[in-house]
Structure 1
Amino acid sequence: MTHFLVLLLALLIGVVAGLRALTPPAVVAWAAALHWINLDGTWAQWLAHPITVTVLTILAVVELITDQLPKTPSRKTPVQFLARLIVGAFAGAVIGTAWGYTFGGLGAGMIGAVLGTLGGYEARTRLVAATGGRDLPVALVEDVVAVVGGFAVAALTAVV
């Protein structure tokens, strides 16, 4: 895979982190477990372990549920934003590691997380306003975009 494609996929998994922070770690763990990416002998090989995949999947599902709660803080609060940057960088680094571009993937994932956090916030805010303040349908669509988008990125790592 070319350096450009690896960085593009790392950027895109970072965008997913901006939408849902715990989806990218679960997705890259599934990608490793399904052998879509090869992490054998790398710092990230532990992601393919069934216990890791299970724990990260449960955490991602819990996040999808808690995001619907009215007291969930904005993704733009410092703690939430920082968590998305870290997770985006981590997931990007994992994707980059599979092709020897760990640090490039880390940077691309972090940039993607900024784009996903700010862009996702703006999109959701505008869509909620356009639907008369109905947040739940918009939040559910965002969940689907994050999960399907995350798995699409992971699947592309196996194809390209």
Structure 2
Amino acid sequence: MISTPVLALCIGLAAGLRTITPLAAVSWVAWLGWLPLDHTWLAFFGHPWVAPVLTLFAIAELVGDKLPQTPSRRKPAVFAARIVSGALCGAALTAPYSAWSTGLMAGIVGAVIGTLAGHALRTRLAAGLGRDWPVALGEDAVAVIGATLIVWAAHTG
């Protein structure tokens, strides 16, 4: 069994790679009732319209990430969005255990690490391959599969 603060850190890492994907993953498990957030300040994750909307935004983000005009994840506004995503997701994974503040902090730390390490790794791999596209797709896969596995682990606890 993986501790919930570790899962919160991991979901933050995923938020550092893709901002919306972890939010969508958390909202699906909340909506399915696998993550009981009903009586918390994070209950909005479980509302019926949130998961589909966030999923559409996540898909748009996966497409938009490949466009040349997409700003760097290290730009202040983009970096801040990833931190907020990691914080919310981390707090949500730990809220059922009355540890949302610990999860929030772990999610922030994970998002900072994921943002900076993800950028460094993607830059190096893309330079080595001479192309960014395959590396970006690999990063997509890590974010989507990682977020899915993390929320599944939180559910099966």
Q: Which TM-score applies when normalising by structure 2? A: 0.96
Query: 1:140 pairs with 121, 124, 137, which one?
Result: 137
CA distance in 1, matches of 2:102, 2:108: 10
Contact 1:36 1:154 in 2 (8 A): no
Amino acid at match of 1:158: H
Gaps of 5+ in 1: none
Equivalent residue number for residue 24 of structure 1 = 22
Distance (whole Å) between structure 2 residues aligned to residue 77 and residue 40 of structure 1: 34
Percent identity among equivalent residues?
47
CA drift of 1:65 comes to 0.6
Q: Which structure 2 residues correspond to residues 115-130 of structure 1 after superposition, within 5 A?
A: 115-130=113-128
Question: Which segments of 5 or more consecutive residues in structure 2 lack a partner in the other structure?
Answer: none
Whether 1:10 and 2:8 are equivalent positions in the alignment is: yes
Runs of 4+ residues over 2 Å off in structure 1? none
User: Match of 2:56, as an amino acid?
Assistant: I
Aligned residues, how many? 157
Deviation string 1:101-150 (CA, Å, 9 cap, x unpaired) is 01000000000000100010011011101102x11111011001100000
Aligned to 1:42: 40
